[in-house]
Structure 1
Amino acid sequence: MRFIILLFSFVVSSVSICLAIPDTIIDVIAPSSKGSELNLQLIEDYLESIGVKANVPENIYSDNEPLYSNTDEFRAESLVKALTNPKSIAIWCIRGGRGASRLIPYLEKLPDDVKKKIAQNKNRKILMGFSDISVLHIYLQNKYDWSTLHSPMLEQIVDNKISQDSIDKLELLISGYRNNIKFNLKMIDNGIELNDGILESKVVGGSISLVRASIGTCWQIDTKDKILFLEEVEPDPALLELRLEHLKQAHILDEVQAVIFGDILCTNDEQLLELVKHRFAQSVNFPVFTLNGIGHARTNYPLPLNTRAVINHIKGNRFSMTVDMPAEWRRR
């Protein structure tokens, strides 16, 4: 992969494997809430340490904007520049929070020639982030059929809020050293079985709140024949059940192939949370799985979205899922 400059360490039998190829650029953007000014240099240092040059917009944060990292116009312009930048191979978000949905009207009004450039970059670069960034994942998948990467944020990494195992797996993917990632799933028994023990599709989704927020918009999530992944920070299991019920009644789940619950952080009642998941599974006619290690916890493994994914039955309620990185992106 001649475009990568990723230098990383992967220990196999106590041997460190490194990869470094010149001229890799990653666009760093803040499309949602404001991060720490002090972390900007740490972010550049981190990317440099893995052999990547950071392209950070000048004046990325504004003191005059009380709610978001900057004005809607600035954030939208930074995003569009990153989406159309012919020299970068990825767009990595600093943090989530709120505000990404306010950029959609700007993306919708882009001139046709700019939209064409974004379309041409399909699978040539990836958007990285999660939480509020789910808005942009869904929009790019719907409008341009982009493949993206549900992943930790840069600020989480430099603040030491992400496990090293999660970072290692992420670096293996974006380096091209690994072309896919494998997960262990557990099925919630609802009487549904996979044909021949296999399900092949694409994974979409992210934050339940943002998937729900897409309903009725120009970027409403398309789940037809897809595997829907859902994660959330929801302290009240009753509210989670209402959100899932909304997805059902809004027909978001009518033609879905399966639902996977990632980490749903609940501080009130874990037993009640499990009850909500099981009641949901019993109310639908498709497979429902759980997957630990993707979401708002310290462990947050990368999950490629809108790429080939294969679920295989292992034994009992245990399954595996292998998800590919975009083939065209890997070949660059």
Structure 2
Amino acid sequence: MKNETIFRLAATLWFAAASLVGCAAADEKSSSAESGPQGPVAPSEREVGIAYGLWADRDLWNGKTWDKPAQGEYDSRDRRVIRRHAEQLAEAGVDFIWLDWSNNVTYDPDELWVGGKQDLIEDATAILFDEYRKMGKRGMAHPKISIFIGVTGAPEAVSDGRLQKKADQVWRMYAGHPLYKDMMQLYLGKPLLVVYVDTPSPWQQGLPQWDDDRFTVRWMTGFVTEQPPLRTPEGVSRYGYWSWEDRGEQTYPLHEGRPETMVVCAATRPQGEPGDEGYIPAQGRRDGETFREQFARARKIGTRFAMVVSWNEWTTAEQPSLEVSKDIEPSQQLGDAYLKLLAEEIRLFKTE
């Protein structure tokens, strides 16, 4: 779950914040971003990921969601729910799920279970990996898996060892584990590890100075469209940031001159309140038109990845109403209309 930081921050404050930890110097990736893409990625090489939440327990459904799942209220640790989701996503053509650990950088899995959301998320992750392993042994299709970590609210975690500790945990438990490593989503020959850095990014003039050679590491912030230092006027991400959401035409980074990724949402929430400086109205579902338009841009640019946000967040903090909600999981009021639309848009993305 991404709690959006207010964007009405002066550019001077953005640049001051960038000096807190230090930015990587502009590299070949950023310079290539200025020159524009060399051409689209071939449809046969494209893949689709979808953000997958693991924080559902009985408390979540106590008036805190924009709707409820078509299959009824559930707990993210329920193996039957995990299997059903895997079947639905695989049938729709989703290549990998993107497990959201972005708020867990301070969580130590070796501590005793205390019943918080971070415990829930990581317990549900272990169950999901085990269930997918069993599905694979039975010849049942399921998406690959990528774990999405972050330094939410703690940019100092990049340099104080906590981010590295989290990456080590992902490697030890999953990406390097003999039972699970073949289930990981690979990119450039290594497990994909995306790191979320808050919105707006504390690093406005480059990327944080951290890497892990075991993974292909990518950095993410929200609404790159609204962070001018991070993008060109044409919408190319200057330093390679991936975007959690975008209002208006989505941004995209380049890798070796090719469009790398683009976020795709069924709706976008507003920024601020009417009358506020910088107010941006919501873009509702519009009976699927917003989703179609965002996928159409991903096809037009020809990105390597389309990153769909999201499958099952459900919370009103990010999705205030039925119309201004972006989940794709079948719901009681919308049925499976968006799951069918997802399957159709994935088919187009991989063939046109």
Q: TM-score, normalised by structure 1?
A: 0.28
* Bigger strand share: 1
Q: Greater relative contact order (Cα 8 A, min sep 6): structure 1 or 2?
A: 2
TM (norm. structure 2) is 0.27
